[in-house]
Amino acid sequence: MQTESFLPKDAPDTPPWLQGLNAPQKKAVEHCDGPLLVLSGAGTGKTRVLTCRLANLISTGKAKPWNILAVTFTNKAAREMKDRVANMIGPMVEQVWFGTFHALAARILRRHAEAVGLKANFTILDTDDQLRLIKQVMEANHIDVKRNPPRMVLAMISRWKDKGLTPDKVSLADASNLVEGSGADLYAQYQQRLLELNACDFGDLLLHNLTLFNQYPDILTDYHQRITHVMVDEYQDTNVAQYLWISLLVQKSRNLCCVGDDDQSIYGWRGAEVANMLRFAEIYSEAETIRLEENYRSTGHILGAASVLISHNETRLGKTLYTDDQHGEKVRVNGFWDGASEARAVADRIESLARHENVPLDSMAVLVRAGYQTREFEDVFIRLGIPYRVIGAKFYERQEIRDAIAYLRLIVQPADDLAFERIVNTPARGLGAKTIATIRNAARQQGLPMLAAAENMLSDTTLKPAARKHLAEFVNMVITWRGQLEHIPHTELVMTVLDESGYTTMWQKEKTPDAEGRLENLKELVTAMDSFEDLPGFLEHISLVMDGDNTNAGGEVMLMTLHAAKGLEFDVVFLPCWEEGAFPSQRTMDEKGASGLEEERRLAYVGITRARKQIFISYAASRRVHGLWQSGIPSRFLAELPDEHLIEETEHGMASGTAKPVTFDHMPIPTAASGYGPGWARLQERRQRGFTPSRAPVEGTSALTGQSDYAIGDRVFHQKFGNGNVIAIEGDRLTIAFDKAGDKKVVAGFVERVHKS
Ligand code: ATP
Ligand code: MG
């Protein structure tokens, strides 16, 4: 099978788009007419085939650049695709229809806006504007926006749009779940308001395109003439609206080339339908399907680990993957005592790879399951002076974190007017723009901070009674919190503030995935604060973080969620926080059961297959969450990884097992020496400053000695091995005679005591 890759050397005059391709790749690149599906695993060159095929179409004269539409999901991916093509065909690339679904649909809509009731200069609303609008619509219908959070209604509407459903097509059954059955009605009114404002939201871009193509055959015909070839990357993640849009565009030419990997479908929660991919051959019966099997990205061990992991999914097409590359290094799995030592070890490893092995920082990535999990790594990178970049917002720059910090700043520093303005009416407490302007003016006249001016205003009649009452409530809360500053731990204070201010409740009410992420971030903020002596110390750290010096000549470590990493590749990949409940995510499994678990496993597969050379997977035995220690159990995905591709890492932290006995050798964490590379030394200074992580015990372990407080004879429970009795104790390692699994040595943090001896 491997002989396929040993192609004769390319002839000297081979054009770049035909160079270095294996046989099936070449076949796909030279395929010009009719439907083509390239269905294959990660790193097999799908994106490469797509870009080379595009260049080939142009060079053979089969299509002009302006006849080709090439679409993908993220701006970053679209840019990379365009760059690759530009390298082959030069400036002609500008005439190709390149972009994300949104960008291309917007471009088409601008030309025909009138047909759907818009003007060509329509605005595309951001989320805040959308929210304001839906809220107005709801209020006009006398719907209680407290009981039915506008954000939730908006999320429902955008799901309908993902499915290509205009208000008249939303079925009664679908709509009855929402806002006492008036969901479809609200949707219709919201759409009407958008038209009146000459605006649309993101979902509308495709939806209006669909209306346009369906209702105006002339326009569609015009596009059939303009666009003769359509190409789609990451096809497995298309939703229904995108699928319909593509189908309409290629209705006549049937020149559709889609590349994708069913094993990498990770947007089911946003309406992606792998079925689109699986149905391809039915819909386009004349379609050619090409499978690529040689992976060019990863070493043998990485690929082996990923392939075995994904084979645990039942609903998949199944495919073989091989690499000609050396086996390379085994996948390393590390267990750590807690999240802080995990983050620290990752940072030390990055530092060491950069310094001793000259691995560029930007070819290393830390990929996490959930947005809030970047925080622990950001903090340690800041502390150690490792330049990093977050794809998406950095933790401390996220809206909810800025809001929470504004509350804290105002408590510590009552003259902080920016903080005051940010949160005086967040959550909404009846203090509108007019009231705030009044306070601002009074403050200016009296030469006082706004909070002080507001306090004065409580005893006069400047404000109407209602506004005065709301303001009094707010000012009194701030005064009370200030009083508590010296008396209760700062982590407790922040929880009180978030609670009493109604800020947490505001997000809780929304029940959207987005709001869930924000609540997780707020919890993580409490955890972050735990590492600091007091509130001013923490705020000092924050201001340091915010003074964003974000360009670094030596590159930056990439930090992002697994979702954001799709299609990208890195030399070294770190996959931390692999604990049950976090990954696979408990929430996904609760909501979607077995199919949720499979989507989680695909995410793990995406994560592992991003790595070219080295991969480090890790988990922590305990984490501090919301000020409390929680013990963690290694993710089931670790147990699914095959032994022959793993190595038990003993250099940092602990050696790990998978489903087998977990044995741990605690090792001191090596300290990273300072000073390498340009810009490094200056950043190193920062690590000297403050920030001593607090050490708190894992339940059942003494903080000072690391001794467990278990006694011989205690009855304990372990997630994997079940019940057993402690038969020996060595520091915090227990030897347990499990009823079923026999004798094992495990770390105390991994078991729960059933009863004391
Ligand atoms: P993913 O599923 O992650 O999106 P993909 O199938 O799109 O991956 P590419 O990103 O196109 O894969 O290719 C993976 C890597 O392999 C790239 O670095 C690419 O340049 C390289 N590659 C692809 N085909 C070949 C080939 N025939 N010879 C050498 N390198 C190749
Ligand atoms: Mg790709």
User: Which CATH number fits the domain that encloses residue 485?
Assistant: 1.10.486.10
**Does residue 45 have its Cβ closer than 6 Å to ligand 1?**
yes
The answer to whether residue 544 is domain-embedded is no
* Structural domain count of the chain: 5
User: Looking at the structure, do residues 237 and 99 belong to the same domain, yes or no?
Assistant: yes
The answer to whether residue 445 is domain-embedded is yes
The answer to whether residue 569 is domain-embedded is yes
User: Looking at the structure, do residues 564 and 680 belong to the same domain, yes or no?
Assistant: yes
User: Looking at the structure, do residues 567 and 493 belong to the same domain, yes or no?
Assistant: no
Instruction: Give me 468's structure tokens.
Output: 């005065």
> What average pLDDT does the segment 472-487 reach?
94
**Does residue 72 have its Cβ closer than 6 Å to ligand 1?**
no
Residue 297: CB atoms within 10 A of its CB come to 19
3-state secondary structure 568-604: CCEEEEEECCCECECCCEHHHHHHHHHHHHHHHHHHH
Question: Which atom of ligand 1 sits closest to the CA of residue 295?
Answer: 16
Q: 119 versus 543: which is more confidently predicted? A: 119
The answer to whether residue 698 is domain-embedded is no
Q: Check pLDDT > 90 for residue 166.
A: yes
**Does residue 619 have its Cβ closer than 6 Å to ligand 1?**
no
User: Looking at the structure, do residues 162 and 282 belong to the same domain, yes or no?
Assistant: no
**Does residue 46 have its Cβ closer than 6 Å to ligand 1?**
yes
Tell me how long the chain is: 757
User: Looking at the structure, do residues 556 and 645 belong to the same domain, yes or no?
Assistant: yes
Which domain does 639 fall in, by range?
331-387+552-688
> What average pLDDT does the segment 82-91 reach?
91
Domain boundary among 171, 197, 223: 197
Q: Based on C-alpha coordinates, what's the Rg of the chain? A: 29
Which residue has 């504007």 as its token pair?
A: 129
Please indicate whether residue 47 is annotated as part of the active site.
yes
Domain boundary among 485, 510, 535: 510
What is the distance in A from the centroid of ligand 1 to the CA of 570?
A: 12
User: Looking at the structure, do residues 566 and 660 belong to the same domain, yes or no?
Assistant: yes
CATH of the domain at 274: 3.40.50.300
What is the distance in A from the centroid of ligand 2 to the CA of 165?
A: 29
Calculate the average pLDDT of the chain. 84
User: Where does the pLDDT of residue 351 fall: very low under 50, low under 70, confident under 90, or very high at 90 and above?
Assistant: very high
Q: Check pLDDT > 70 for residue 676.
A: no
CATH of the domain at 181: 1.10.10.160
The counts of H helices and E strands in the chain are 28, 22
pLDDT reported for residue 13: 81
Which string of b and e fits 630-639 if b means at least 16 CB within 10 Å?
Answer: ebbbbbbbbe
User: Looking at the structure, do residues 223 and 87 belong to the same domain, yes or no?
Assistant: yes
Q: Check pLDDT > 70 for residue 160.
A: yes
Choice among 162, 201, 234, 348 that is catalytic? 234
User: Looking at the structure, do residues 192 and 222 belong to the same domain, yes or no?
Assistant: no
Answer yes or no: are the C-beta atoms of 241 and 162 closer than 8 Å.
yes
The answer to whether residue 580 is domain-embedded is yes
Share of the chain above pLDDT 90, in %: 52
Domain boundary among 174, 197, 220: 197
User: Looking at the structure, do residues 471 and 409 belong to the same domain, yes or no?
Assistant: yes
- Cα 605 to Cα 293, 305, 311, 327: the distances in Å are 16, 9, 10, 18
Choice among 25, 264, 504, 609 that is catalytic? 264
What is the distance in A from the centroid of ligand 1 to the CA of 34?
A: 24
The answer to whether residue 527 is domain-embedded is no
Distance, in Å, from the CA atom of 181 to the CA atom of 174, rounded to the nearest integer, reads 9
User: Looking at the structure, do residues 465 and 601 belong to the same domain, yes or no?
Assistant: no
The answer to whether residue 528 is domain-embedded is no
Please state the separation of Cα 200 from the chain's center in Å: 26
User: Looking at the structure, do residues 497 and 614 belong to the same domain, yes or no?
Assistant: no
Please indicate whether residue 234 is annotated as part of the active site.
yes
* pTM beyond cutoff 0.85: no
Where is 82: in which H helix or E strand? helix 75-89
Q: Could you tell me where the DSSP H helices lie in 566-702?
A: 586-608, 636-640, 680-688
User: Looking at the structure, do residues 193 and 236 belong to the same domain, yes or no?
Assistant: no
